[in-house]
């Protein structure tokens, strides 16, 4: 394996970006080295660059929506092999707080965000905790799998866990960008009805209707569009209270 790799580096002081040759990271205890195949661009990446999000490191490699193949196993890693196709988690537990020490890593008190607290995947290789990997089936392209770690899992958590949207419940989605579009699709998958999309851009409202929204409202005007009625239930349920996610 080569000793160096190309990586994007963001310098906080000067707010500049550079593509540099840097050492290939070495996986530590319980970690793996992943050869990056694809990495998405999240709005939070842009927010770090423009100063909206506070920096956590003076210099960092960005990118936290990554897929790829395992290139090397660190010490004490089991259940994985070199060449396995994986998604990298967009963050990692600290493993030292009270919750982590009693095994409740999902509720880590000092969760670290990839590409903010530690180097991300706008690079040829990235290091990830083995406990945070997700195996990618052979029939799922890696370019599609990359965004699952954030742009799909975040709205999934909003719909299924935080909102606990159930079959037949009304749901309103304000803002139909990347996350909002996935919320529309996920709400449809869990059986929400009607799914109501609200935005200021007609183009994204048309997309929402194509992807499963029953109604699409322009936020700036009283006009609205609707998709073909799915059933009388969809129309009649408008009289009930609508939940927002």
pLDDT of residue 20: 97
Which region among 178-187, 202-211, 219-228, 230-239 has the lowest average model confidence (pLDDT)? 230-239
- pLDDT for residue 229: 41
- C-alpha 186: how far from chain center: 14
pLDDT of residue 219: 84
pLDDT of residue 227: 58
Question: In this model, does residue 149 exceed pLDDT 70?
Answer: yes
Express each pLDDT in 88-99 by its tens digit. 999 999 989 999
Choice between 129 and 149, residue whose per-residue pLDDT is larger: 129
Averaged over 6-17, what is the pLDDT? 95
Residue 238 pLDDT > 50, yes or no? no
Query: Could you tell me if 204 and 185 are in contact, meaning their C-beta atoms sit under 8 angstroms apart?
Result: no
For the chain, which domains are there?
4-146 (3.90.180.10), 153-244 (3.40.50.720)
């Amino acid at each position: 394996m080569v000793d160096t790799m190309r990586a994007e580096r963001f310098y906080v002081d000067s707010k500049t970006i550079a593509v540099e040759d840097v050492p290939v990271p070495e996986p530590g205890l319980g970690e793996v080295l992943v050869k990056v195949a694809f990495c998405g661009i999240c709005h939070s990446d842009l927010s770090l660059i423009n100063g909206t999000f506070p920096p956590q490191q003076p210099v960092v490699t960005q990118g936290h929506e990554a897929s790829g193949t395992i290139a090397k196993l660190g010490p004490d890693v089991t259940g994985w092999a070199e060449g396995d196709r994986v998604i990298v988690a967009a963050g990692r537990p600290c493993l030292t707080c009270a919750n982590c020490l009693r095994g409740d890593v999902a509720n880590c008190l000092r969760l670290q965000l990839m590409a903010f607290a530690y180097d991300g995947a706008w690079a040829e290789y990235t290091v990830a905790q083995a406990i945070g990997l997700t195996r990618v089936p052979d029939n799922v392209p890696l370019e599609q799998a990359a965004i699952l770690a954030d742009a799909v899992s975040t709205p999934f958590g909003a719909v299924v866990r935080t909102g606990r949207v159930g079959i037949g419940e009304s749901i309103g989605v304000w803002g139909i960008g990347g996350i909002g579009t996935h919320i529309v699709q996920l709400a449809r998958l869990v059986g929400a009805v009607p799914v109501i999309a609200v935005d200021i851009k007609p183009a994204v409202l048309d997309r929402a209707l194509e992807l499963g929204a029953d109604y699409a409202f322009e936020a700036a005007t009283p006009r609205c569009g609707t998709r073909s009625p799915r059933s009388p239930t969809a129309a009649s349920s408008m009289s009930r209270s609508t939940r927002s996610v």
